[in-house]
């Protein structure tokens, strides 16, 4: 009987010590806002394991770190980091961890909560500048000069320390937590900010800031677009140039390479100056430099304007013509002037480049005439045939700049003959006749057939087997092809500088085989 009682006592003792405790969240209960604070779910006493449990976290009054602002984490681990909100009007927060799942022990499957009181800091309402109120991050203009400026603000909730930050080179005349008086430098920096930072001693990294951004009215001269650069000056010529700017009282003009500046007048952010080119004898290139100036802010930026002048005649060696060497017929041939490698007919700009002011075209042969296109300054022209002679024609062109005319540039074009050739019969067995007849558009012009031409018949080896030349401008000539072997031959008709080629078939009946 005594042995049985001892066994029963052992069993009852074992039931009492099984899973007597649970879990809790550990971490700061008075955290600083805006800092990443760690929290963990830990067992208290002899709690069962949580390997079969799903852990879900929820935070109120903050967000989980590295989650893009999430307030809930499902299927999380036993530890999380929280960033508590900096809201001075609401300092209460809490973090919760919930254990759940079919494999989770029922004695621990529940929600665990930790309440916190968040340490926060208030926000600035703005900053006044010499008595004028501005919101934080406002932008203002601070005049150049060293007149003192006072910046002031109000205290913020829970702050224990204040720090003013001013640009380098500015002198602090007086300051306290909520006000500072500074003496700015004359004109620097051209832009910057004045800021105040509030912190609390018990929360490293927790702060509130407010800034006023400023610019100094630095004098500026506006760039001149390349499309508005002045055209070339003539030697010794004077022109007025105008530039614009802002925040300035004057502009400094200068020139180099023989160009001079005079009569500078600056009013209301505009400046006008007279620029004079070097005297004749040479072509010159230079630069006009303009600098913006403010009596209080000093010198601003500078711009450069390229200028050039023409002091010599255009060079005939630089002239050529698009269309030279081509053939002009009754419909006309378009010509274009090329100077210094630039085809002005396709790359024309106004005023014309290289200081060109005029272009003249003229024929020296009676069988053509030429008309310049004055709409585009004469850079193009059209050559027409007076008679369709089939002979070369000579034309010429010259250009003018402010110093005078170039020499004539002489070039040649070919003139249509105004006719076509008919050869028959083809195939042939006895006689091949070649006849010059007017083209359809020139059928009424007798000149079309009054032309010298010659014809040659070549075999497949390139050997001339027949040849003839028309006599006294006759419109027809013939070949006796009897005796030639049957096969393919080639007819060459030459008139002026033009050559026609045709295929001729000599039939078998004419063969001597």
In this predicted structure, the answer to whether residue 408 has a pLDDT above a threshold of 90 is yes
CB distance 361 to 397 below 8 Å:
yes
The answer to whether the beta carbons of residues 220 and 245 sit under 8 Å apart is yes
Inter-residue contact 121 to 85 (CB < 8 Å): no
Provide the pLDDT confidence category of residue 169 given band limits of 50, 70 and 90.
very high
* Sequence-ordered list of residues with C-beta below 8 angstroms from that of 121, at least 6 positions apart, any chain: 33, 86, 88, 156, 157, 158, 159, 198, 199, 200, 203, 206, 207, 208
Fold observed for domain 232-310 = Immunoglobulin-like (2.60.40)
Q: Which is nearest to 115 in space by CA: 22, 203, 28?
A: 28
What's the mean pLDDT in 252-278?
96
Mean pLDDT throughout 365-390? 81
Strand, helix or coil for residue 227: helix
DSSP labels, 199-218: EETTEEEEEEEEEEEEE---
Does residue 3 have a pLDDT over 60? Answer: no
At 396, is the pLDDT very low, low, confident or very high (cuts 50, 70, 90)? very high
Strands (E) in 402-484, as ranges, are 404-405, 409-415, 419-424, 431-438, 454-458, 464-469, 476-480
Q: How many CB atoms lie within 10 A of CB 503?
A: 9
Of all residues in the chain, what percent carry a pLDDT higher than 90?
A: 63
What CA–CA distance (Å, rounded) separates 436 from 470?
Answer: 10
User: Dihedral sign, CA of 40, 46, 48, 49?
Assistant: positive
CA gap 280, 276 in Å, rounded: 12
Task: Please indicate, yes or no, whether the overall pTM of this predicted structure exceeds 0.95.
Answer: no
Residues facing residue 456 across a β-bridge:
467, 492
Distance (Å) of CA 172 to CA 141, 148, 181, 186:
19, 9, 6, 15
Rounded CA-CA distance 356/379 in Å is: 10
How many other CB atoms are there within 10 angstroms of residue 303's CB atom? 17
What gap in Å lies between CA 445 and CA 415, rounded to an integer? 15
Calculate mean pLDDT across residues 44-58. 92
DSSP labels, 119-139: B-------EEETTEEE-TTEE
- Is the separation of the CB atoms in 224 and 287 below 8 Å? no
pLDDT at 331: 76
Instruction: Give strand pairing partners of 449.
Output: none
What's the rounded mean pLDDT across residues 26-31?
98
H or E element in which residue 13 lies: helix 2-16
- At the fourth CATH level, the homologous superfamily of domain 419-506 is Macroglobulin (MG2) domain (2.60.40.1930)
Q: Determine whether domain 127-215 maps to CATH 2.60.40.10.
A: yes
Q: How does pLDDT run across 324-372, given as a tens digit for each residue?
A: 988 887 778 999 999 999 998 887 677 788 889 889 999 988 878 898 8
pLDDT score, position 14: 38
Cα 220-224-228 angle, rounded to 5 deg: 160
Residue 103 carries which DSSP code? T
| Closest to 320 measured CA to CA, from 412, 414, 415 | 412
How far is the C-alpha of 127 from the C-alpha of 135, rounded, in Å? 6
Rounded to an integer, what distance in angstroms lies between the CA atom of residue 508 and that of residue 481? 11
Instruction: Look up the CATH number of domain 316-415.
Output: 2.60.40.1080
The SS3 assignment for 15 reads: helix
The band of 440, judged by pLDDT with boundaries at 50, 70 and 90, is low
Section 440-461 average pLDDT: 69
Q: Residue 91's pLDDT is what?
A: 96
pLDDT of residue 7: 38
Predicted confidence at residue 6, as pLDDT, reads 38
Owner of token pair 């001269």: 221
Spans of all domains in the chain: 23-117, 127-215, 232-310, 316-415, 419-506
One DSSP character per residue, 336-375 reads: EEEETTEETTTS--SSPGGG--EEEEEESSTTEEEEE-GG
**Which of 214-223, 291-300, 474-483 is predicted with the least confidence, judged by mean pLDDT?**
474-483
Confidence of residue 436 (pLDDT cuts 50, 70, 90): confident
Is the separation of the CB atoms in 415 and 431 below 8 Å?
no
Q: Do domains 316-415 and 419-506 have the same CATH topology?
A: yes
* CA distances (Å), origin 73, targets 86, 97, 109, 135: 21, 9, 17, 38
Residue-level length of the chain:
513
Identity of the highest mean pLDDT range in 45-49, 148-152, 278-282: 148-152
User: How many Å apart are CA 105 and CA 85, to the nearest integer?
Assistant: 35
Angle at 262 between CA 256 and CA 267, to 5 degrees: 115
Q: Inform me whether the pLDDT recorded for 229 exceeds 60.
A: yes
Q: Using CA of residue 320, residue 322, residue 328, residue 331, what is the dihedral sign?
A: negative
Instruction: Return the HEC string of 251-292.
Output: EEEEECCCCEEEEEEEECCEEEEEEECCCCCCCEEEEEEEEE
Asked whether 312 and 406 are in contact (CB, 8 A), the reply is: no
Distance, CA of 382 to CA of 169 (rounded, Å): 71
* Confidence band, pLDDT 50/70/90 cuts, at residue 470: confident
What is the chain's percent helix, strand, coil content, to nearest 5?
A: 5, 50, 40
18 falls in which pLDDT band (50, 70, 90)?
very low
Q: Is the pLDDT of residue 16 over 70?
A: no
Averaged confidence pLDDT in the chain: 88
Is the domain spanning 23-117 CATH 1.20.1730? The answer is no
Q: Give Cα 316 distance to the centre of its chain.
A: 39
């Amino acid at each position: 009987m005594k042995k049985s009682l001892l066994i029963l006592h052992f069993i009852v003792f074992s039931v009492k010590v099984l899973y007597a405790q649970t879990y809790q969240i550990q971490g700061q209960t008075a955290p600083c806002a805006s800092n990443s604070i760690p929290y963990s779910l830990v067992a208290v006493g002899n709690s069962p394991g949580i390997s079969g449990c799903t852990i879900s976290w929820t935070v109120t009054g903050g967000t989980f770190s590295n989650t893009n602002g999430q307030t809930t984490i499902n299927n999380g681990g036993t530890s999380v980091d929280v960033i508590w909100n900096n809201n001075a009007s609401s300092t209460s927060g809490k973090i919760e961890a919930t254990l759940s799942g079919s494999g989770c022990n029922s004695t621990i499957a529940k929600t665990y909560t930790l309440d916190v009181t968040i340490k926060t800091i208030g926000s600035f309402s703005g900053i006044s500048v010499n008595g004028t109120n501005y919101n934080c991050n406002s932008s203002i203009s601070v005049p150049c000069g060293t007149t003192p400026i006072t910046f002031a603000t109000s205290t913020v909730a829970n702050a224990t320390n204040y720090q003013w930050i001013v640009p380098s080179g500015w002198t602090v005349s007086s300051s306290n937590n909520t006000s500072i008086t500074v003496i700015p430098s004359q004109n620097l920096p051209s832009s910057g900010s004045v800021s105040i930072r509030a912190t609390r001693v018990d929360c490293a990294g927790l702060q509130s800031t407010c800034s006023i951004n400023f610019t100094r009215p630095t004098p500026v001269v506006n760039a001149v677009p390349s499309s508005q650069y002045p055209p070339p000056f003539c030697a010794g010529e004077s022109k007025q140039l105008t530039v614009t700017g802002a925040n300035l009282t004057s502009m400094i003009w200068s020139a180099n390479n023989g160009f001079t500046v005079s009569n500078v007048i600056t009013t209301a952010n505009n400046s006008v100056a007279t620029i004079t080119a070097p005297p004749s004898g040479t072509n010159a290139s230079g630069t006009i430099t303009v600098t913006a100036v403010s009596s209080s802010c000093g010198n601003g930026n500078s711009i450069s304007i390229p200028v050039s002048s023409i002091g010599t005649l255009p060079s005939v060696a630089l002239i050529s013509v698009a269309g030279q060497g081509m053939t002009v017929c009754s419909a006309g041939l378009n010509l274009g002037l090329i100077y210094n490698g630039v085809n002005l007919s396709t790359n024309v700009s106004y005023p014309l480049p290289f200081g060109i002011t005029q272009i003249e075209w003229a024929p020296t042969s009676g069988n053509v005439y030429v008309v310049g296109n004055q709409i585009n300054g004469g850079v193009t022209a059209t050559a027409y045939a007076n008679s369709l002679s089939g002979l070369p024609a000579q034309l010429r062109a010259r250009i003018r700049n402010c110093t005078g005319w170039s020499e004539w540039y002489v070039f040649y074009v070919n003139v249509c003959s105004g006719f076509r050739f008919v050869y028959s019969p083809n195939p042939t067995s006895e006689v091949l006749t070649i006849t010059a007849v007017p083209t359809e558009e020139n059928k009424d012009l007798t000149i079309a057939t009054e032309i010298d031409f010659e014809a040659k018949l070549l075999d497949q080896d390139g050997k001339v087997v027949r040849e003839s030349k028309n006599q006294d401008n006759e419109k027809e000539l013939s070949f006796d092809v009897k005796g030639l072997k049957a096969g393919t031959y080639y007819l060459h008709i030459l008139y002026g500088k033009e050559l026609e080629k045709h295929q001729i078939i000599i039939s078998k009946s004419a063969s001597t085989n």
